[in-house]
Amino acid sequence: SNVSFMHTNTLTVLLSSSDVASAVAREIAQIIERNNSESRKTVLCLATGSTPISVYAHLVSEHKKGLSFKNVVTFNLDEYIYGSDQVELPESSFRAFMDRHLFSCVDISADSIHFLPHRLLPGQSANDIGQQFEDAIAAHGGFDFALVGVGVNGHIAFNEPGTAWDSATRVVSLTPSTRARAAPDFFDAAAVPLEGFTMGMRAILGARRLVCMATGESKAKAMVAAVEEPPAVACPASALRSHPNASFILDYAAAEQLAQVVTPWVTGHERLTTDSPFASVKRAVVWLSQRQGKPLHSLTLDDFLLGSLSGLVSSGEAGPREVEALTRRVANDLTERIVAVPPLPKAGGKIVIFSPHPDDDVIQMGGTFRHLVETYGAANVHTVYQTSGNIAVFDNEVVKAIDLAASLSASGKPTPAHAAVLKELAAKAPGTADSRATLEVKGLIRRSEARAAARHVGLDMDNVHFLNLPFYESGLIDKNPVSEADHQAMVAILEELQPTLVFAAGDWSDPHGTHRVCLRLLLEALRRHDQPTAQLLLYRGAWAEYRVDEADYLVPLSPTDVALKERSIMFHESQLHPAPFPGPDPREFSVRARERNAATAAQLQALGLPAFSGVEAFVKHDWTCKAAIE
Q: Mean pLDDT, to the nearest integer, of 106-128?
A: 94
For the stretch 71-97, pLDDT in tens is: 999 999 999 999 877 778 888 899 999
Domain 4-216+226-260 in CATH 3.40.50.920: no
Q: Distances in Å between the alpha carbon of 360 and those of 29, 357, 506, 551, 572?
A: 38, 6, 11, 19, 10
Integer Cα distance of 447 and 359 in angstroms: 10
Confidence of residue 508 (pLDDT cuts 50, 70, 90): low
Q: Which CATH class is domain 350-392+437-629?
A: alpha beta
For the stretch 384-422, pLDDT in tens is: 999 999 999 999 999 999 999 999 999 999 999 999 999
Q: Is the pLDDT of residue 243 over 90?
A: yes
Integer Cα distance of 239 and 241 in angstroms: 5
Q: List, in order, residues 6 or more apart from 615 with CB less than 8 Å away.
A: 338, 548, 554, 555, 556, 557, 597, 600, 601, 604
Specify whether the CB–CB gap between 556 and 614 falls below 8 A.
Answer: yes
Put residue 510 in one of left, alpha, beta given phi > 0 → left and psi -120 to 50 → alpha: beta
Please state, for a pLDDT cut of 90, what percent of the chain lies above it.
80
What stretches of 361-494 adopt beta strand conformation (E)? 381-385, 464-466
Domains 4-216+226-260 and 350-392+437-629 share a fold: yes
Q: Mean pLDDT, to the nearest integer, of 178-204?
A: 90
Q: Mean pLDDT, to the nearest integer, of 239-258?
A: 94
Q: List, in order, residues 6 or more apart from 530 with CB less than 8 Å away.
A: none
Max CA-CA distance within the chain?
89
Q: Mean pLDDT, to the nearest integer, of 437-459?
A: 97
Is residue 160 part of the annotated active site? The answer reads yes
Angle made by CA atoms 515, 585, 21, in degrees to the nearest 5: 45
Task: Give residue 7's pLDDT.
Answer: 59
Confidence of residue 173 (pLDDT cuts 50, 70, 90): very high
Domain positions in the chain are 4-216+226-260, 263-336, 350-392+437-629
Least confident of 67-76, 235-244, 268-277: 268-277
Q: Is the pLDDT of residue 590 over 50?
A: yes
Task: Give residue 473's pLDDT.
Answer: 95
Catalytic residue among 62, 79, 134, 160: 160
DSSP string of 145-192? EEEE---TTS-BTTB-TT--TTPPSEEEEPPHHHHHHHHHHHTSGGGS
Q: Mean pLDDT, to the nearest integer, of 260-281?
A: 93
Least confident of 197-211, 509-523, 527-541: 509-523
Task: Give residue 5's pLDDT.
Answer: 55
Written as one letter, the residue type at 331 is: A
Q: Is the pLDDT of residue 628 over 70?
A: no
Task: Give residue 26's pLDDT.
Answer: 98
For the stretch 293-327, pLDDT in tens is: 999 999 999 999 999 999 999 988 889 999 999 99
Q: Is the pLDDT of residue 3 over 50?
A: no
Check: pTM over 0.75? Answer yes or no.
yes
